[in-house]
Amino acid sequence: MKIAIGADHAGYRLKDEIVPFLLSLGHEIEDLGCDCSQSVDYPDYALPVADRVAGGQADRGILICGTGIGMSIAANKVPGIRCALVHDMFSAQATREHNDTNVLAMGERIIGPGLAQEIVRIWLETPFSNGERHVGRVRKVKEIEQQYTVHP
C-alpha cells in the first residue's frame, strides 16, 4: 500500500517513529514533512497528504499533530477524504469497518509510539465491511460532500 504521511511540529517525532514501522510492514511511504520542532501550520501538511489520497497518488494517509484535531479538521475539507481522529484500537478498527476512512489522524501529545503503531497496524489491516447499512451511510456522507462542493 502507498501511504502519504505528514505531521506538524507537534507531531513530527511520532511520525518519525511511524515511518520505519510502516516500512517494516512493507508499505511504500511518501513523507510530506515536517521534520522540525519550530512552529509550523498544520493545514500546510494536512492538505498535501489529503490531496495525494483524494487524487489517487496514495492509497491512504496518516496525519499527526499535537492532538490530531487540527489535522483531521483540515483533511476533512478535501473532497473525497474521510479522516478519523483515533487514539484507541477499537476506534481504529471501527472507523475502517464502518466508515471506510482513508486518512488517519493521531495526536502525539495524547498517545505514545507503541499504541500509535498498533492503531496504525489495525487501521491498515482492517477492511471496510461493505455491510449494507455502512455502505448506505458512507454514500450519504458523499452526497453531503457533493452538496457543498462548488462545481465550475
In one-letter notation, the amino acid at residue 123 is W
Q: Examine the residue annotation and report whether 151 is marked as an active-site residue of this protein.
A: no
- Catalytic member of 9, 34, 65, 83: 65
- Catalytic member of 83, 98, 134, 151: 98
Q: Examine the residue annotation and report whether 87 is marked as an active-site residue of this protein.
A: no
| Exposure b/e, 21-40, CB count within 10 A at least 16 = b | ebeeeebebebbbbeeeeeb
CB proximity list for 8: less than 8 A, separation 6 or greater: 34, 40, 41, 42, 44, 45, 64, 65, 66, 70, 71
d(CA 110, CA 132): 34
d(CA 91, CA 99): 11
Q: Which residues are known to be catalytic?
A: 65, 98
